[in-house]
Structure 1
């Protein structure tokens, strides 16, 4: 196609600049709703043959010959063209098949009217019916329809030049009527094609926007994973610092006690070696050594308990394995790990839990939930640095449910923020480095991994109260997709927004 014609078609909205887009549109336009098009082609073949009745009315002497022509066209062209579209290899040339389907019977129709004695006096009506069928029921583009119009009109004019009209002026009337029909069909098909091209452009633009949105969403998920990892490291640093501070005290006392006991032991040994040991000195020395050993054992036991609790919590959060455990003893281990950090900031932690409650769930995810709530309360519930009271109450809620209530007496949550606290990246302390992921992670863990529900109630100045209800035994494992999405979250202590 010459470049000038291509530019003109592009300006008229009848072509695309990109050849790939043009090929995609042509394939879509010519093969859209192919079943309906084939049904229309079968109908067209039937109507084309059925008009032999009209031939019989016009010229009973020649109608057998015209019927034979019509049947020959149907058998040789119309039906094979219809069947060819069922072959995938022929669909690449669908528009050429449509053009042959239209041009051959349109040209043969002029020959039929030439055989009928008064045929060309009534030819315009038959040609208009063919034009109407082609322009409305077949997916021809404007260039193909223009080719159809040019070829059939030329054949009509040629055949009519050999015909004799019974009435004068019929040659002009026929060509005028057919010309108007061609013009209207060209306009209708052109308008339909322009609309189809606009829709194609819109769909392509929407598809590109969808792809960009999906790519942006994937980037956002990756950024969220990085932020969660950063939250994990930050919270882990706080937790380790608190545990290290707490362990430092008993180990320091044990070291001091062992040093003092070593001095007492050396002094007692010197007295024994000189043989000048008084009973009172021996008694006092043994008493100090006994007291030192008691203090040393007590402090080392305290340090060992802290290390064991910290190790158990770390293993639970790392493994993410489901197991059955007794809630009260497990909860004391979790709070003993959090206790150093909370007490260092001056907060009092009060834990109330019924004994004997057995829970079959993911302890790592549950520990993450409690850790996030505690750290969230410390950071957001007391932004002015004052100390407060954190209450953790665990009890049965019916025969098969567990109720966990975590409350603080901090500054509370503003009413307008209550519906948004579980949203990702929502925080009122963005300027302080908060990212707003903590409670979003809590919500996901409770809803997906632990199969429970969480609710928040709060009044400004009266603290925040989280109520979590969980099944005592999970009914199923989390879905693969949910487990994959929560794999990072379940291991990442984070802080978000409870008491902004």
Structure 2
């Protein structure tokens, strides 16, 4: 029998899945089921009105049977669904249906008309049970068989049995009602099982998707961190290269001065020292000291600039600064690194624009845009120009236009340029995160907007609209922390 139900789609092979479905189908809407059961109890007792219309003299008897069944059986069973006994909801539903189905034929014993209208009463009970209560096909078949058998037994024990023809018609009507309602209950359960399995599949797919999304976020955070470390490594390498030149010159000069000092010492030790030789040696020492001092100052300035960049980019506190001076200082730090890639930077910014914002985040955005222009706008060995123009603030917003006159972007690239991991130079090792990071910094940390306009062979223009006062609680600069 179980195999047949499984083939008909009215039972799951997996016992755990079957148990979950029963919990969902039978106990999923207990509140609505209890409302239907209360309505059924009052309806069962209320049919005493019919008895009163036809046979007032027997109303006390039928009211005792109907009302007693409703008060002593149906309503208590309804109340059980609000107690821990709710876990036996399906047997409770079956008892709720079987008991009035078996009690109803006894009422026809006391009616003067006997079982003449028994089919109508049984059909009403069948209709209520099949439409209002969440019985599965097995339980409903049990109800039909029990109630129909009770009707047949009661008719056979009646003092005045129905004529054979009328009895056949009554049982045909009840049988047809049972078969049709069995089909309806089975079809409803079949659809409920399909919906349950679909919902289960969707839930599993949702969980897999959420797990995949978490893995993607973790991978994205890792790649973002790797990209930032790579950018820091590039900056360190560039600064190291720039610092090595003045330090190397200072070392060479100090070595030469050491030789000059030893020469002067030997002359002084020899006893006879010419004034011209001593003057020449002192002049060489003065020149060497001057050159050494200049070289060391240059190295110190570059180290200080590097420290300032690192501190600014790691600092998330609101900072009040004058834009023109800060911008000039920041671009001065970038120029040596960009010059190695053949990119010249031009700045135009009016004085007196004061921001209360996050200079580290803005500096990182400008750096990303500049290096992106050096890499993509002027590929190969082509030299180029990158301009930064700042317009006077309006409505509490300052506009910064970053532009190049390079190769530009076609439409399919322009539409995805801020997407994470999108790059046209993956074969060169690019991760495609630079402009995505810039977008997040402008939108989240600085509280502004970033827009891009580009056409093939017409260059690229990126507009930054930055509020003069940044948000008090910006998003994390790290995209990983934002996830």
TM-score bucket (shorter structure): over 0.9
Pairs within 5 Å for 1:432-443: 432-443=428-439
TM-fit CA distance, 1:184: 0.6
Q: 2:116 maps to which residue? A: 121
- Is residue 448 of structure 2 the alignment partner of residue 452 of structure 1? yes
- Is residue 287 of structure 2 the alignment partner of residue 294 of structure 1? no
Pairs within 5 Å for 1:101-140: 101-140=96-135
Q: 1:342 maps to which residue? A: 338
Q: 1:497 maps to which residue? A: none
Q: 1:81 maps to which residue? A: 77
Q: 1:209 maps to which residue? A: 205
One of 122, 142, 146 as aligned partner of 1:147: 142
For 1:366-402, what per-residue CA distance to the aligned partner results, in whole angstroms no more than 9, with x for missing partners? 2221221122112211222211112223343226322
SS at match of 2:57: coil
The separation in 1 between residues aligned to 2:442 and 2:155, in whole angstroms, is 85
TM-fit CA distance, 1:178: 0.3
CA contact (8 A) 1:58 1:116 kept: no
TM-fit CA distance, 1:159: 0.3
SS at match of 1:396: coil
TM-fit CA distance, 1:109: 0.4
The separation in 2 between residues aligned to 1:282 and 1:356, in whole angstroms, is 54
For structure 2, the 5+ residue unaligned runs are: none
- Is residue 75 of structure 2 the alignment partner of residue 90 of structure 1? no
Q: 2:10 maps to which residue? A: 14
The separation in 1 between residues aligned to 2:307 and 2:40, in whole angstroms, is 82
TM-fit CA distance, 1:166: 5.8
Moved more, 156-165 or 226-235: 226-235
The separation in 2 between residues aligned to 1:281 and 1:372, in whole angstroms, is 56
CA contact (8 A) 2:224 2:480 kept: no
SS at match of 2:347: strand
- Is residue 20 of structure 2 the alignment partner of residue 24 of structure 1? yes
CA contact (8 A) 2:345 2:385 kept: yes
TM-fit CA distance, 1:168: 4.8
Q: 1:197 maps to which residue? A: 193
- Is residue 38 of structure 2 the alignment partner of residue 45 of structure 1? no
Shift of the 487–140 alpha-carbon distance from structure 1 to 2, 3 Å rule, reads closer
CA contact (8 A) 2:115 2:162 kept: no
TM-fit CA distance, 1:358: 2.9
Moved more, 303-312 or 456-465: 456-465
One of 462, 471, 482 as aligned partner of 1:466: 462
CA contact (8 A) 2:220 2:480 kept: no
For 1:100-145, what per-residue CA distance to the aligned partner results, in whole angstroms no more than 9, with x for missing partners? 1111111110000111121301110011000000000111111110
How many matched pairs? 482
Shift of the 207–461 alpha-carbon distance from structure 1 to 2, 3 Å rule, reads same
- Is residue 257 of structure 2 the alignment partner of residue 261 of structure 1? yes
TM-fit CA distance, 1:273: 3.4
For structure 1, the 5+ residue unaligned runs are: 491-500
TM-fit CA distance, 1:73: 0.3
For 1:290-330, what per-residue CA distance to the aligned partner results, in whole angstroms no more than 9, with x for missing partners? 22222211111111010001011112223433322333443
Moved more, 378-387 or 13-22: 378-387
TM-fit CA distance, 1:489: 8.4
CA contact (8 A) 2:476 2:482 kept: no
SS at match of 2:154: helix
The separation in 2 between residues aligned to 1:136 and 1:55, in whole angstroms, is 25
- Is residue 314 of structure 2 the alignment partner of residue 318 of structure 1? yes
- Is residue 371 of structure 2 the alignment partner of residue 375 of structure 1? yes
The separation in 1 between residues aligned to 2:478 and 2:73, in whole angstroms, is 60
The separation in 2 between residues aligned to 1:485 and 1:285, in whole angstroms, is 57
TM-fit CA distance, 1:72: 0.3
For 1:142-188, what per-residue CA distance to the aligned partner results, in whole angstroms no more than 9, with x for missing partners? 11101101111111100000222465522111111000000011000
Root-mean-square deviation over aligned CA pairs: 2.0
TM-fit CA distance, 1:287: 2.6
TM-fit CA distance, 1:206: 0.3
TM-fit CA distance, 1:448: 0.5
Q: 1:354 maps to which residue? A: 350
The separation in 2 between residues aligned to 1:105 and 1:253, in whole angstroms, is 108
